[in-house]
Amino acid sequence: MRVAWTADGESWRLDFRLDPEDSLTGTVTDGARVLLATNSCAVRLPRPLADVHPDLLALAAWTVVAPYTRRRIAFDRPVSPGVAAAIELGWGIEAGPVGGTPRDGSRLAVSYSGGADSAAVAAILRDAPLVHFQRVSHPRVPNRWAHYRSDVLARLAVATGRELAVVRSDLEFTLAEPRPGYPEHHAVAAGAALLADELDLGGIAFGYEMGSRWLGGGRYLLRYTPDNPMWSATGKWGTLFAAAGLRLVLPVGGVSEATTMRIALGSELREQVRWCLRGDDGGACGTCGKCLYKELIRAAIERRPLDTPITADRPVAAKWQKPPPYGGQEMIEYGCARVPGIESTPFATAARHLGATVESTSWLDRCYPPALEEIPDPWRKQVEDFMAEEVGLMSEDEVRRVESWGAR
Amino acid sequence: MVLLWKRAPVPARLRRAVRAWLDARYVTRVDHRHDIKDALREVQAVGRELATLRREVERLRTQVTALAAEPKQPAPPDSARRAKWDEAHRLATETATAMDRLLQNEVLLWQAVDRIDATLGKRVEGVA
């Protein structure tokens, strides 16, 4: 694979060419199979930059082309030995040319989507700048997904009143199958990477919570994942981000989605929190699968009946009519144990299978301490203090619940 | 007037004159009877009209209720227009799919071009 960046004002265009051994099909770090749609994309920054450090350009490019690269990656500018080594060690891919000097920064920015998890991160890191990724159409790829209201989400991000950089990009349209989306989950930070020197960033904080980081996320079902290749600080992506002087930080990596939602809805960002991709300026759609899932969690923390027009026979509720395991099962257990009248909701079947109780799910209300140890030094204390004061740490028994997840 | 007439005797001529003057100013009994009959007819006619209007309101009200209860269905487009829309949709879908293939082929084409370039480069190096 060969990649080249061209700057045109505030827009940075990435072109890439396949080597003989590369192909249109690829595998993402989480194991998902993807098909390439086209070999160019652009990242539009809020303002033009004189130049961007080659390590940051390489990192951003790698989040787009990694799935399709088989043997080697040739960047258009020499990268530092650390970045080349991280790619070689992590992926077994030869990276070059090598010759640059490494970079570093001091601030921590939040990769802010506007959902409950990243809003919780923004609420914890009160002074951190936010970087919001806004999907825009690709000039060469027909957009069949116009119902995705990235414009609404960007407006909500602006409405937070926080220090904010909105980065507009069509990089998701380089994916033909399964559908447009981040080629690697980390591509959401492509814009933050390009802005890292401009904002003096030494780290980027994501909203990935305990389920995504330690309990297998949507990919691995019922598996404790200390070795998570996407999000562990010492995994291949964690190592590569650190080599580019942009450490990967998960401030809510130790708490569940119930806790992130409680933090987000209890914060001053409450009015701007939006996890639905389809809703307009009037509010969330209330009818998509994500709205249903998040409503279960919200009803659970507010200890009230489920408020949804979705019935069990709707396609978005189909997976809850089947027996477990489910992706994000810990939150389904948590919700089913707490929502009054669950037996007359689309989660009735799941609730019957899971048989969860408030006691069996109370560990999801506290913070898993090893997640705090993963946070790099300059920012650990702030998060530790917040978790100790606002959430509380898990007992040894509760820690065992995390570490034996799926082994019961 | 009656009291006045009893107390003060009024000459008969004057009384007649006043009476005639008064009678001339008022409608006659016969006319009055006619008027009352006419008024009664008018009232009866208005009553009948009111009953008709009530029935009409009732009829319209049931019609409105029935319309509101009916599922709102716009008039189906005529078949020629529907065929046109179907055709446009088919064309858009097929064009988008063809565009996908075209873009992917472009990627593969560049891959082939680069491979040939590399082979030629090596050959040129070998000759030199």
B79 at interface of A, judged by CB pairs closer than 8 A: no
Using a pLDDT cut of 70, give the percent of chain A over it.
Answer: 99
Q: Are strands A164-169 and A130-135 parallel, antiparallel or unpaired?
A: parallel
Q: Which positions ≥6 away from B52 have C-beta within 8 Å?
A: none
Band of the pLDDT at B28, cuts 50, 70, 90? Answer: confident
- Identity of the amino acid at A326: Y
Q: Do A142 and B96 touch (CB under 8 A)?
A: yes
Distance between B85 CA and the closest CA of chain A, angstroms: 17
d(CA A86, CA A20): 23
B109 at interface of A, judged by CB pairs closer than 8 A: no
Q: Quick one: DSSP state of residue A387? A: I
Residues B6 and B69 in one domain: yes
Strands (E), A246-401: 247-249
Handedness of CA A325, A329, A334, A340 (dihedral sign): negative
Tell me how far the alpha carbon of residue A83 is from its chain's centroid: 22
Q: Closest CB to A140: pick one of B95, B103, B115.
A: B103
Tell me how far the alpha carbon of residue A379 is from its chain's centroid: 19
**Which chain B residues have a beta carbon less than 8 Å from that of A141?**
99-100, 103
Residues B84 and B42 in one domain: no
Query: Per residue in A200-255, pLDDT tens?
Result: 999 999 999 999 999 987 666 678 999 999 999 999 999 999 999 999 999 999 99
Contacts A–B by Cβ distance under 8 A: 42
A20 at interface of B, judged by CB pairs closer than 8 A: yes
Give the residue from chain B lying closest to A37, CA to CA: B104
Q: Which of A2, A22, A24 to mutate to test the interface with B (most CBs of B within 10 A)?
A: A24
pLDDT of residue B128: 46
Domain boundary residue, one of B50, B73, B96: B73
- Burial of A131 by CB count in 10 Å (0-12 exposed, 13-18 middle, 19+ buried)? buried
Residues B2 and B65 in one domain: yes
Distance between A404 CA and the closest CA of chain B, angstroms: 45
Residues B60 and B79 in one domain: no
SS3 assignment, position A220: coil
Q: Do B96 and A176 touch (CB under 8 A)?
A: no
B111 at interface of A, judged by CB pairs closer than 8 A: yes
Band of the pLDDT at B75, cuts 50, 70, 90? Answer: confident
Mean pLDDT over the full length of chain A:
95
A19 at interface of B, judged by CB pairs closer than 8 A: yes
Query: Per residue in A48-66, pLDDT tens?
Result: 998 999 999 999 999 999 9
End-to-end CA gap in chain B: 150
Residues B91 and B127 in one domain: yes
Residues B107 and B82 in one domain: yes
Distance between A306 CA and the closest CA of chain B, angstroms: 29
Residues B32 and B86 in one domain: no
Residues B43 and B86 in one domain: no
Q: Which of A19, A22, A39 to mutate to test the interface with B (most CBs of B within 10 A)?
A: A39
Count up the domains in chain B and report the number: 2
Band of the pLDDT at B2, cuts 50, 70, 90? Answer: low
Residues B28 and B46 in one domain: yes
Residues 139-168 of A with CB under 8 A from B: 140-142, 144
Residues B27 and B9 in one domain: yes
Domain boundary residue, one of B55, B73, B91: B73
Query: Per residue in A348-380, pLDDT tens?
Result: 999 999 999 999 999 999 999 999 999 999 999
Longest dimension (CA), chain B: 161
A25 at interface of B, judged by CB pairs closer than 8 A: no
Longest dimension (CA), chain A: 64
Res A408 pLDDT > 70 = no
SS3 assignment, position A24: coil
Give the residue from chain A lying closest to B101, CA to CA: A37
Give the residue from chain A lying closest to B116, CA to CA: A20
Q: Do B106 and A38 touch (CB under 8 A)?
A: yes
Query: Per residue in A24-36, pLDDT tens?
Result: 999 999 999 999 9
For A349, the token pair is: 């079947």
Q: Which of A16, A25, A38, A138 to mutate to test the interface with B (most CBs of B within 10 A)?
A: A38
Domain boundaries, chain A: 2-249, 286-362
Domain hosting residue B80, numbered range: 75-128
Query: Per residue in A266-310, pLDDT tens?
Result: 999 999 999 999 998 889 999 999 999 999 999 999 999 999 999
pLDDT of residue A4: 97
End-to-end CA gap in chain A: 44
- Side-chain half-sphere CA neighbours of A13 within 13 A: 9
Band of the pLDDT at B5, cuts 50, 70, 90? Answer: low
8 A C-beta contact, residue A41 and residue A170? yes
d(CA A223, CA A212): 11
- Side-chain half-sphere CA neighbours of A331 within 13 A: 27
B63 at interface of A, judged by CB pairs closer than 8 A: no
Band of the pLDDT at B78, cuts 50, 70, 90? Answer: confident
Residues B67 and B80 in one domain: no
**Which chain B residues have a beta carbon less than 8 Å from that of A176?**
100, 104
pLDDT of residue A327: 85
Residues B79 and B114 in one domain: yes
Q: Which positions ≥6 away from A80 have C-beta within 8 Å?
A: A54, A55, A98, A100, A101, A102, A103, A243
pLDDT of residue B123: 74
Query: Per residue in A115-140, pLDDT tens?
Result: 999 999 999 999 999 999 999 999 99
